[in-house]
Structure 1
């Protein structure tokens, strides 16, 4: 079977790798750099910069405690240089990984014909199965002067840390960008059209704004009417100085098949639970399908699509998807969207996080984190977790699996954590409920 995969981000790259491991004939086509937005413009860039800001935050804390006396001199230019060097190494590794299972990688811009062929670099390739994994790009609202606004695609292109930054948007990306540049020295405003960080609970948001992002000015329920190179104008005629940065969502790169397969109203590619489109031998996976725009979900979707392309029937499930907000202290959360728990059966318990890895010295300032868990008291299940701690990423990922497998609270008693971890989730579950 001839399989063509267009796009080498998390979905396309993992799909190609899975198909190759299954012994299938695979051609992977990539327009720019292998590994897609995640490595080259997105979450890996955010993680790299957040590693720096965590170090800066720890240095300030240790200086305040008095046992470390140091001043940091930050070179944004050097940071960008080293991020670029690391990206080159990872691209090389990702390419070798796909080639190691016999896959052919072509760099060029593809176009899809209705006669089951793909055009790339002047060559016509026939396929039996096609996977569209073309991702998404930043959404830029129709605001006057929008050409002056930066997006995540520009992070590695700017020369230095802006003195003042206006981030337009109120979601996860807006929060992460704000944390990075505020820690690096920018005066940051967040301009949210509705509420900021609606993805987490009000108490978790309160902790974030008080203890992690206290230097950032948050404007909620505001609209931007015009942006300039170094300022923005709100609809109430208030002017805010600073470089505009758009963190206003993503647009699917679905134009490549817009006249071939059925699209959703938001222009994402419509797929079923096997990642199949309205055309029998065309599949889609990753951000272009408009589901959770998360790297682990894109990987999962790519693998599911690949298995179905190779005639190994698989279905995707999205329940209890763990997510995180990468700040100087991670904010991780998960919710059981299939829960039928009534309001009267909901019970919420919240306590400060216990000092685990990376938070021992936070005890002195009283900001070790926060954990909030909502239970279904009738069915003995966990409905929702919001956890803020240095270990929340791994804690919530493991607990989300137990939620997804529909374990009872009694079963959690057999879960053995590794010390040191934040332990807070387990303290609540084992000692305050069971």
Structure 2
């Protein structure tokens, strides 16, 4: 049976790998570069740049303490050059990995015509089709929006902009703001409502005061017009700086239009098995809307592949851990299925302690902050916000326990590697248990 996968981002790449592992005949079609937005334009680019800004932040701290004297000379074009070099190596490895399972990879722009996929002038009939074409940056209908940059342009910049206006208030907006502020830009964030709605107000306050303190934030503000070197807000203020749009993403679903059913937001409509309304067509990843996260896309791609191969599988969107990649990570998870009443909620928050990579922050009093919301009646955790260098691993572990519906007594069996975990364990194991 011929199985065709269109798109090689996290969903398509992992889906095709899973099909190959299960012994299925697979053709993977990719329009541009293997590994999709994540490696080539998205989170891995952000993470690479944030590695640089963490180093700058740490060096500045050591200089302030006086035991290291150094002066950094940052070369943005060299950073970009080395990111591109690393991307090329990873693309090569990703291709070899996929081909090692017997999968065929074709580069070109695909189109769907009934039971046939066309690419590079050839037609391929399929028994099953997985559409994993991802998403692209959403550009709002603003006069002058053509002047705006997006995450697709980060590696095209010749140098760090002197001034930057980031339009948007979500995770990507704040990550980009942190990167360029640390690299030397004067940065404004302009959000039409509040920024960082994903985390608690207390955690947000800590982020703005202790991590993003050099960034100007304009909430409940719209951009009326954009220019090459400034924007004008809806109240008439002129803010100098290159416009940068971080205003969400749009599914690349045009390929499926007229073939499968789309939702109102133009994403491909699927069920929990990643099936569309057409029996032998599946979709996974950002093109289906929902969580725009690499781990979720991977899980969806694998789920679709297993169902294609005849192994019934479903995706559960429950207790999904997320992180905001700044010079200190901000990680969070919420049990959206919790039925805890207001009177049974208990919120405990404490400053971070000297966990990994936090020792030298004690001198400045900014070791982080952790906030946990408990369900007193059912002895469960409802929500965690953790700001610390170890929060990514901490919260991923906590999210698993929450997803498995363990109660708080189970946390007492966890044994840390010292120094490894930050203050959420202190809260759970000492202040609560």
Give the TM-score band, short-chain normalised.
Answer: over 0.9
Task: Report how far residue 202 of structure 1 moved.
Answer: 0.2
Aligned equivalent of 1:213: 212
Judge conservation of contact 1:417–1:423 (CA < 8 Å) in 2. Answer: no
Aligned equivalent of 1:139: 138
Judge conservation of contact 2:388–2:422 (CA < 8 Å) in 1. Answer: no
Aligned equivalent of 2:173: 174
Task: Report how far residue 356 of structure 1 moved.
Answer: 1.1
Aligned equivalent of 2:103: 103
- CA distance in structure 2 between the aligned counterparts of 1:394 and 1:419, rounded to whole angstroms: 14
1:266-285 to structure 2, matched below 5 A, reads: 266-285=265-284
TM-score (norm 1): 0.99
Judge conservation of contact 2:39–2:87 (CA < 8 Å) in 1. Answer: yes
SS at match of 2:155: coil
Task: Report how far residue 423 of structure 1 moved.
Answer: 3.1
- CA distance in structure 2 between the aligned counterparts of 1:315 and 1:402, rounded to whole angstroms: 19
Aligned equivalent of 2:401: 402
Aligned equivalent of 2:365: 366
Aligned equivalent of 1:238: 237
Aligned equivalent of 1:76: 76
Task: Report how far residue 104 of structure 1 moved.
Answer: 0.2
Aligned alpha-carbon RMSD (Å): 0.5
Judge conservation of contact 2:391–2:422 (CA < 8 Å) in 1. Answer: no
Note the residue ranges of structure 2 that are not aligned, 5 or more in a row. none
Deviations along 1:186-223, one digit per CA (max 9) or x if unpaired, are 00000000001101100000000010000000000001
- CA distance in structure 1 between the aligned counterparts of 2:36 and 2:71, rounded to whole angstroms: 36
SS at match of 1:29: strand
- CA distance in structure 2 between the aligned counterparts of 1:142 and 1:83, rounded to whole angstroms: 32
- CA distance in structure 1 between the aligned counterparts of 2:417 and 2:313, rounded to whole angstroms: 33
1:234-313 to structure 2, matched below 5 A, reads: 234-313=233-312
Deviations along 1:310-361, one digit per CA (max 9) or x if unpaired, are 0000000010000000000000000000000011100000001111111110
Note the residue ranges of structure 1 that are not aligned, 5 or more in a row. none
1:311-322 to structure 2, matched below 5 A, reads: 311-322=310-321
Judge conservation of contact 2:7–2:13 (CA < 8 Å) in 1. Answer: yes
Deviations along 1:8-41, one digit per CA (max 9) or x if unpaired, are 0000000000000000000000000000000000
Task: Report how far residue 119 of structure 1 moved.
Answer: 0.1
Tell me whether 1:21 sits opposite 2:21 in the alignment: yes
- CA distance in structure 1 between the aligned counterparts of 2:147 and 2:100, rounded to whole angstroms: 43
Aligned equivalent of 1:346: 345
- CA distance in structure 2 between the aligned counterparts of 1:131 and 1:418, rounded to whole angstroms: 42
Aligned equivalent of 1:120: 119
- CA distance in structure 2 between the aligned counterparts of 1:146 and 1:353, rounded to whole angstroms: 41
Tell me whether 1:326 sits opposite 2:315 in the alignment: no
Aligned equivalent of 1:381: 380
Aligned equivalent of 1:9: 9
Task: Report how far residue 396 of structure 1 moved.
Answer: 0.3
TM-score (norm 2): 1.00
SS at match of 1:266: coil
- CA distance in structure 1 between the aligned counterparts of 2:181 and 2:418, rounded to whole angstroms: 32
- CA distance in structure 1 between the aligned counterparts of 2:49 and 2:314, rounded to whole angstroms: 36
SS at match of 1:155: helix
- CA distance in structure 2 between the aligned counterparts of 1:385 and 1:11, rounded to whole angstroms: 27
- CA distance in structure 2 between the aligned counterparts of 1:256 and 1:390, rounded to whole angstroms: 41
Aligned equivalent of 1:54: 54
- CA distance in structure 2 between the aligned counterparts of 1:340 and 1:279, rounded to whole angstroms: 36
Judge conservation of contact 1:355–1:422 (CA < 8 Å) in 2. Answer: no
1:421-432 to structure 2, matched below 5 A, reads: 421-432=420-431
Aligned equivalent of 2:89: 89
**Greater shift in the superposed pair: 41-50 or 254-263:** 254-263
Aligned equivalent of 2:38: 38
- CA distance in structure 2 between the aligned counterparts of 1:220 and 1:42, rounded to whole angstroms: 25
- CA distance in structure 2 between the aligned counterparts of 1:422 and 1:409, rounded to whole angstroms: 17
- CA distance in structure 1 between the aligned counterparts of 2:354 and 2:160, rounded to whole angstroms: 32
Task: Report how far residue 141 of structure 1 moved.
Answer: 0.3
Aligned equivalent of 1:193: 192
Aligned equivalent of 2:356: 357
- CA distance in structure 1 between the aligned counterparts of 2:18 and 2:104, rounded to whole angstroms: 14
Deviations along 1:46-92, one digit per CA (max 9) or x if unpaired, are 00000000000000000000001000000000000000000000000
Runs of 4+ in 1 over 3 A off after TM superposition: none
Task: Report how far residue 411 of structure 1 moved.
Answer: 0.8
Deviations along 1:255-275, one digit per CA (max 9) or x if unpaired, are 001111111100000000000
Deviations along 1:94-123, one digit per CA (max 9) or x if unpaired, are 000000000000000000012x11000000
Judge conservation of contact 1:224–1:235 (CA < 8 Å) in 2. Answer: yes
Task: Report how far residue 422 of structure 1 moved.
Answer: 3.4
Task: Report how far residue 284 of structure 1 moved.
Answer: 0.3
Aligned equivalent of 1:203: 202
